[in-house]
Amino acid sequence: MAARIQLPREAKRGEVIQVGILIQHPMETGFRLDSDMRKVPKNAIRSFVCRYNGEEIFRAELSPGIAANPYLQFPTRVEASGEFEFSWVDDNGVRDTARETITVA
């Protein structure tokens, strides 16, 4: 699983920035059929957490009601330079993490 992160490279101290992330994931509903007309088992990202310098700033519980390749955009106030850490888990227990840094002046 890969992810694309949208983040300003630099920000001012105390500024509210928008953090965007696009995760590559099929978010299977469990209703779709494959080419042999068998149901593709349900598999969606259920839990998503974003930490900034170790502190949790955003958490989401998702479901197959979120489109494939889920996109999330959420705000946060940045006070110091640091690293965003995004991590998520799907129904199969597969975990993944993505990281991105930001410079705060």
Residues that bind another protein (CB under 8 A): 16, 18, 20, 27, 29, 31-33, 55, 57-68, 70-77
Cα–Cα distance measured from residue 49 to residue 63, given in angstroms and rounded to the nearest whole number:
14
Instruction: Give me the least distance between CB of 73 and another protein, in Å please.
Output: 4
Instruction: Give me the least distance between CB of 96 and another protein, in Å please.
Output: 18
Angle (CA) 28-67-48 rounded to 5° is: 85
CA 66, 67, 68, 72 torsion-angle sign: negative
Nearer to another protein, 7 or 66 (CB): 66
Instruction: Give me the least distance between CB of 94 and another protein, in Å please.
Output: 19
